[in-house]
Chains A and B, each alone.
Chain A
């Protein structure tokens, strides 16, 4: 594995050394490995069943939209897409809004129990959701919210609050306090400072929060499976597991469904890559 030191640490000359070639080869192999399932999903989604049976590996010579259209017309896929959008947007908005309020208090105000509250809230990040679902399920049945979108919106909001509070509190603490102090002297209210001064400065943190939580909610399975059991209330990802069961012998159709479920997050990732990375890395603290 040892190479000439000309490539070590980067920045120095990029000579075609054996080490350099080896690194490229490893990275290409890793990228192929990472992308192959995605590639398989895409080529299969645009094949007819016959084309698929002839060759699983080659891209289709004549791509067909048949499966995508059929997936969209069968199995309530459009309803599921709409449900996923409603659930993701609502829970991310609510979680971010209430976390902003809490994080601002935790970052800028001095009160009894503050540190204990912050530690307690942050440590909830490690709680496995499966631990919570039985009592919550019974509760939702009791209050008649089972099979309705608000049930999962409430649960997702709760589940994403710990990470949101953590990210936002750290960010608010790092903002320079002088501006806020000046605003206070000028007679701005506490909420006015948060709304007019802190939030406009916090776009990166808010976006990170939104992106990380949207990814989680959109892709989540267990909660959606338990609380949304009627066909018309399902989210896309949970519906997909049902779809898979129904049409498992029709690979192109199932892969079309999978592709439809993947595209929104893939686009979000390509557009907001740095927020994904920042959010996931920020969790590591320090």
Chain B
């Protein structure tokens, strides 16, 4: 994976500034011995599949047996409507990210005020995050069914005309899935932000209060700026989640349906591989998803580095 072989002695020892200031400078095999089991697992579970998906994405199955080398798998995807839809669906799910971020900020700020029972509230609000996605999904199938509680509440409030088949209507299925994702992930944001707030130096807030800042102004100008890096982290994690970790929601709740109305990239990869029996297409899709995710991570590193150099000034 990385240059773990053939240590070149002195040069390397000089190059990396060890925080531990090792005295011995002679080349030792010991570190590599310690790393071996991890390298074996990472090589098997990550490196090998990376190479394989790239290779098989360029192998075009042919009717006569031996696959030929070519870009036909990718060309096929370019003309594939479901592929385009699946990307669009992933992008629509991204709308959940700002919603979650704002809600998580609001609730973490309220908890930060240490209202009575805030620790209990924190425990309760975080609970959905430890539930398995299939469990959450299965439960919401019932809650969202035509005679489920959501529709019953609408009916008893005299708004029966709003009652819907939330997961069966192609127009509503994505927002409905999105709401379930928000339900489960929100607590993570709240706890994350709250933990960071707790480490803000008290003097900062005291000073703002002495200056007569009200709740809104104090948090707007003191607390939230302090949270910048953790908010950025949460946004990145949730973008990743929406692009590449929502398979289980879709699989449990809709199976991609109705029709292809809730097919997302991950689900389409799985579907191609195991339902349509076309692993070559699945590999091409997997390569594209991996490239997209890596691109985002790279972009985020660039942004972070830039914002850090601004901070230093």
Contact = CB atoms under 8 A, between A and B. Distances in A.
Interface of A: 1-3, 5, 7-11, 14, 19-20, 23-24, 26-27, 30-31, 33-38, 40-41, 44, 56-57, 97-99, 101-102, 104-117, 120-121, 123-124, 126-128, 130-139, 154-155, 157-159, 161-162, 165, 173, 177, 190, 215, 218-219, 221-222, 225-226, 237-238, 240-241, 244, 248, 251, 254-255, 258, 261-262, 265-266, 268-269, 273, 276-277, 280-281, 283-286
A113 B2 contact: yes
A8 B115 contact: no
Contacts of B60: none
B123 interface: yes
B189 to A, nearest CB: 10
Interface of B: 1-4, 7-8, 12-13, 16, 18-20, 22, 28, 30-32, 34-35, 37-38, 41-42, 44-46, 48-49, 52-53, 56, 106-107, 110-118, 121, 123-136, 138-143, 147-149, 152, 183, 186-188, 191-192, 195-196, 205-206, 209, 212-216, 218, 229-230, 233-234, 237, 240, 243-245, 247-248, 251-252, 266, 269-270, 273-274, 279, 282-283, 286, 289-290, 293-294, 297
Report the 8 A-B pairs with minimum CB-CB distance, sorted nearest first. A158-B45, A128-B244, A10-B114, A112-B12, A135-B52, A105-B34, A219-B132, A98-B37
A263 to B, nearest CB: 11
Given A23-B115, A121-B42, A109 B252 contact: no
Given A2-B215, A26-B110, A104-B34, A35 B124 contact: yes
A132 B125 contact: no
A182 B240 CA distance: 44
Nearest to B43: A158
Contact of B35 (A101, A222, A276): A101
- What's the dominant secondary structure at chain B's contact region? helix
- What's the dominant secondary structure at chain A's contact region? helix
A137 B273 contact: yes
